[in-house]
Amino acid sequence: MSTTDQSPQSAHSTAGTRVRVGHALASHRSLLGVTAALVGAIVGAAAVLFNLAIRAWTWVSTGFEEYTTHIGASHGLWGWAPWLFLLLSPAVAGLLYGPLIQRFAPSAKGHGIPEVMLAVRRKGGRIPGRVAVVKILASALTIGSGGSAGREGPIVQVGASLGSTIASWLHMPVSRVVLLASCGSAAGIAATFHAPLAGAVFALEVILVEFTAETFGFVVLSAVTSSIVARLLQGDEMVVRVADNLTFASMSDMWWVALLGLVAGLCGLGFSKLLYACEDAIDWLWAHTHLPEWARPGVLGLVLGGGLVAFPYMFGSGYPLEEQAIAGSYSIAFLLALMVGRAVFTSFTIGMGGSGGVFAPTLFIGAMAGAAFGDVISPLSGSPVGVFAVV
């Protein structure tokens, strides 16, 4: 029998083996738990790779792994003036990831989490594996070139894509595809923040919505495994460093906390409205240019670059700025400028077709609002500004 005659039979046999293995894994709780842990381990490694990719492209763009700690410095590699690389970096990156997203994974554009929610609710949790690869590359290029976006949304989509791909490859039933996609989402959050419980609760409340004690166990197992793998590969690295001695001077300050909750909630609502309004406005304007969609991030990247030249503190995710705000290092006026700037720059970054999340910018906006609030009430409260920034 010729090789060409054998290959269809071989392919059929391989597919049959995957079906049998997938059925065994899906129906046996212990084996499914091992699969959930495997998903967590893979996503944990992917999260570390994603963080390294962001740092690498930031280094290429600016000559530093974190530019907001070197504001005003010339390019660390080539000595270019700040205005030059800040202006050009977002456009160059946009010309790289724009065609990549358009050709291979259009769903990799934007936040990431809404796309996962859509896949779970209407597509049986099926997310192509190529989405994970494109999302890592596009988001690393977006954030590393100065885009004001977060890494949390992308890693949720990456994790969901990896979990879904493994389940689909094994021909598991839809319920298990959704479960492993949710496990991947939880693992992404857990690896990013070293917070397994937070990742599990996020996946159960936002992705799954309806869950049982059984699914809770699988999601937690995946999240814990992911966090362990991330710690082993990159150490116990905190996203935002907070002093250990932050505490309220008096329990009476809880009244201020209640008021701060209202203020921060309104800030978050305003950011949400601005984000979607900006996306709609840029969609409308771009439609009238009659230029191809793949060119959008590159062309509008010049506008973003111009904004970074004027206000370079908006480069990337801005975690070091949050630490300084928590430490009480900024004036009220500058805190408010950072808060408004982050809302505007993030809305434009996402609206122009950049790939990145909105969770980190939301944390940033809340921290600036809290620090400014703490400064305003400082004559009436003995609690440090950092307490209100963290709240």
* E strands in the chain: none
Query: What mean pLDDT do residues 246-270 have?
Result: 91
At residue 1, the pLDDT reads: 44
CA 263 to chain centre: 25
- Residues 114, 154 within the same domain: yes
Q: What is the mean pLDDT of residues 240-260?
A: 84
Domain that residue 342 falls in: 251-390
Local confidence band at 48 (pLDDT 50, 70, 90 cut-offs): very high
Span 59-85, mean pLDDT? Answer: 92
146 with 284, same domain: the answer is no
What pLDDT does residue 3 have? 46
Last residue of a domain, one of 234, 266, 298: 234
Q: Where are the beta strands (DSSP E) in 95-217?
A: none
* 364 shares a domain with 327: yes
Q: What is the predicted pLDDT for the residue at 172?
A: 83
Secondary structure (DSSP) of 231-294: HHHH-S--SS---TT---S-GGGHHHHHHHHHHHHHHHHHHHHHHHHHHHHHHHHHHTTT--GG
Query: How many domains, in total, are found in the chain?
Result: 2
**Residue whose tokens read 């959930």:** 36
Q: What is the pLDDT of residues 274-309, one digit of tens each?
A: 999 999 999 999 999 989 999 999 999 999 999 999
DSSP per residue, 68-118: GGSTTPPPTTT---HHHHHHHHHHHHHHHHHHHHHHH-GGGSB-SHHHHHH
Does 329 lie in the same domain as 270?
yes
**Residue 351 pLDDT grade (very low, low, confident, very high; cuts 50, 70, 90):** very high
- Tens of pLDDT, residues 314-337: 998 888 999 999 988 999 999 999
* pLDDT tier for residue 125 given thresholds of 50, 70 and 90: confident
| 105 and 154 share one domain | yes
Q: Write down which residue in 187, 207, 234 finishes a domain.
A: 234
Long-range contacts, 22-31 (Cβ 8 Å, 24+):
22/167, 22/169, 22/170, 22/171, 22/172, 23/171, 23/172, 25/170, 25/172, 25/176, 26/170, 26/172, 26/173, 26/176, 29/214
Q: Global pTM?
A: 0.89
Residue 216: band (very low, low, confident or very high) from pLDDT cuts 50, 70, 90: confident
Q: Residue 181: inside a domain, yes or no?
A: yes
What is the tens place of the pLDDT at every residue in 153-168?
A: 899 889 999 999 988 8
Same domain, yes or no: 193 and 291: no
Burial 175-200 (b: 16+ CB within 10 A, else e): ebbbbbbbbbbbbbbbbbbbbbebbb
Q: Is the pLDDT of residue 20 over 60?
A: no
